[in-house]
């Protein structure tokens, strides 16, 4: 069967099957992890007085299906998941799917802005460092990018909030848009996009203003990482014979850089950027709290500390799926950038 399909379709099918297996693995890990450990969700959710009343405890356990054997709980969860039901959060008393639909776009907007900034700045800095190797710009960028990957994100968020909002008052405070303006209604859930679609220029500028600081804070680590990676990738390509040949036949420097060097140097960079997006998503846990950004980072934190199992599994699943989708995009991009991959 698979023989008759074109290579791209075969490749995509294989990737999607791997993705589904991994997503299933994620639910299994979270489920086992959250059930085998000593923490008790009942104690975490009910008050001390309610805990002393066996009737209330039993009722609560029955309500959340905790009185059934473990394998049955897991089976029920999987069954619900296939129907788009991720269970009910023990904290918000709402369906987890509904909670996620509300919080995921905010985080995607933040992480998406951060990865864009990282790619632009990281690649630019990396190319600059490689072209000026062992000269001043290279040394300065090396120290700066190492500082970038060494700064504790949660601390930087706090410092940025203090300096830019509290002291200098040049950035707006917490949240996604100015509450006086109200959120732009829209389908994507991304405030910047929704505001543009709705033609609300005021909401758009407010959303961008709110986005800048947390996105930059979140991006700093990835900027440093991509700078280092781009530098070594470009250096490696610069020494290749075909680059020397392109120079020798008198092609302008810009053509050599963009058509010959960057094209092959960007392949490893894009792999790293794809991996970094996953860490950006979980890095939002530490940034969202400071900027009161209503995303899955804060949701994950609240769920984890109260052992809200359905919610934690939901977050794990969403982040895992986003991660897999990003990797899929990266794999397809390989083919676009590097013709050798396409031939295989």
Partner 1 sequence: MRRDPLARKGLLRRLPEAWRQPLAVVGVVIALAWVVIAVAAPVLAPHDPLAQELPRLAPPGPEHWFGTDQLGRDILSRVMYGARVSIPLTVLLVAMSVLIGGLLGACAGYFGKWVDESIMRLADLVFAFPTVILAMVVAAALGASLTNAVLAVLVVAWPAYARVTRGLVLGVRGREFVLSGRLLGFSAWRSLRVDVLPNVTGPILVLATLDIGTALLLLSGLSFLGLGAKPPSPEWGSMVASGVEVFDSWWVATFPGLAILTVVLAFNFLGDTLRDALDPRTARAIKERAL
Residue numbers of the site for partner 1 (CB under 8 A)?
22, 25-26, 29-30, 33-34, 37-39, 133-134, 142-143, 146-147, 149-156, 158-159, 162, 166, 228, 232, 235-236, 278-279, 281-283, 285-286, 289-290, 300-301, 304-305, 307, 312, 315-316, 319-320, 323-324
Phi-psi region of 101 (alpha: psi -120 to 50; beta: other; left: phi over 0): alpha
Backbone torsion region of residue 174, taken as left when φ is above 0, otherwise alpha when ψ lies between -120 and 50, otherwise beta = beta
Please say which residue, 211 or 322, places its beta carbon nearer to partner 1. Answer: 322
Positive/negative CA dihedral, 177, 183, 187, 189: positive
Helix (H, G, I), strand (E, B) or coil at 48: helix
Distance of closest approach, residue 343 Cβ to partner 1, in angstroms? 26
Torsion, Cα of 77, 80, 86, 89 (10° steps): -70
Give the shortest CB-315-to-partner 1 separation in angstroms: 6
Query: Based on CB atoms, which residue is closest to partner 1, 155 or 258?
Result: 155
Q: What's the min distance (Å) between Cβ of 233 and partner 1?
A: 11
Residue 13 near residue 5, CB atoms below 8 Å: yes
Closest approach, Cβ 130 to partner 1, in A, equals 11
- Measured from the CB atom, the residue of 35 and 205 that comes closer to partner 1 is 35
Q: With contact defined as beta carbons under 8 Å apart, do 261 and 237 qualify?
A: yes
271 versus 282: smaller Cβ distance to partner 1: 282
**Cα-only R_g, the chain:** 24
Cβ-based nearer residue to partner 1, 164 or 301: 301
162 versus 201: smaller Cβ distance to partner 1:
162
Shortest reach from residue 284's CB to partner 1, in Å: 9
CA distance 85 to 73: 14
Spatial CB neighbours of 301, under 8 Å, sequence gap ≥ 6: 285, 289
Q: Toward partner 1, which CB reaches closer, 121 or 324?
A: 324
Question: How would you label 230-242 residue by residue, b for 16+ Cβ within 10 Å and e otherwise?
Answer: bbebbbebbeeee
Q: How far is the CB of 81 from partner 1 (least distance, A)?
A: 17
Instruction: Decide: residue 148, CB within 10 A, 0-12 exposed, 13-18 middle, 19+ buried.
Output: buried
Return the bridge partners of 88, or none. 95
Q: Least distance in Å: CB of 263 to partner 1? A: 19
Q: Given the complex with partner 1, which of 112 and 316 has the nearer CB atom?
A: 316
Is the distance from CB of 296 to CB of 315 less than 8 angstroms? Answer: yes
Which tokens is 56 given?
Answer: 């209330």
Pull the structure tokens for residue 50: 């309610």
Query: What DSSP designation does 240 have?
Result: S
The nearer residue to partner 1, 96 or 324, going by C-beta atoms, is 324
Provide the minimum distance between the beta carbon of 57 and partner 1 in the complex, in angstroms, as a whole number: 19
Phi, psi dihedral angles at 242 (to 5 degrees): -70, -25
Which tokens belong to 332? 């397809």
CB of 149 to partner 1, least distance (A): 6
């Amino acid at each position: 069967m698979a023989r008759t399909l074109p290579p791209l379709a075969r490749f995509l099918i294989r990737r999607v099957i791997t993705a589904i297996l991994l997503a299933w693995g994620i639910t299994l890990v979270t489920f086992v992890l959250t059930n085998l450990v000593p923490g008790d969700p009942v104690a975490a959710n009910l008050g001390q007085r309610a805990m002393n009343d066996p009737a209330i405890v039993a009722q609560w356990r029955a309500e959340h299906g905790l009185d059934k054997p473990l394998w049955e709980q897991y089976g029920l969860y999987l069954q619900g998941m296939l129907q788009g039901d991720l269970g009910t959060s023990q904290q918000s008393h709402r369906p987890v799917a509904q909670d996620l639909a509300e919080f995921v776009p905010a985080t995607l907007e933040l992480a998406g802005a951060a990865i864009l900034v990282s790619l632009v700045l990281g690649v630019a800095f990396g190319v600059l460092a490689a072209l000026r190797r062992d000269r001043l710009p290279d040394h300065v960028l090396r120290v700066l990018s190492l500082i970038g990957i060494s700064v504790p994100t949660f601390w930087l968020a706090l410092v940025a909030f203090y300096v830019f909002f509290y002291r200098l008052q040049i950035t707006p405070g917490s949240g996604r848009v100015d509450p006086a303006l109200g959120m732009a209604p829209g389908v994507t859930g991304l405030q910047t996009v929704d505001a543009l679609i709705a033609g609300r220029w005021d909401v758009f500028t407010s959303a961008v203003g709110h986005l800048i600081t947390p996105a930059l804070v979140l991006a700093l680590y990835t900027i440093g990482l991509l700078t280092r990676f781009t530098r070594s990738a470009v250096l490696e390509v610069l020494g290749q014979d075909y680059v020397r040949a392109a120079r020798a036949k008198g092609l302008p420097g810009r053509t050599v850089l963009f058509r010959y060097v960057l094209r092959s140097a960007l392949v490893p960079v894009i792999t790293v950027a794809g991996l970094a997006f996953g860490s950006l998503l979980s890095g939002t846990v530490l940034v969202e709290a400071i900027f009161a950004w209503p995303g899955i980072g804060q949701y994950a934190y609240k769920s984890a500390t109260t052992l809200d199992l359905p919610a934690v599994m939901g977050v794990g699943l969403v982040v895992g799926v986003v991660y897999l989708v990003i990797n899929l995009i990266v794999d397809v991009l390989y083919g676009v950038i590097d013709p050798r991959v396409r031939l295989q």
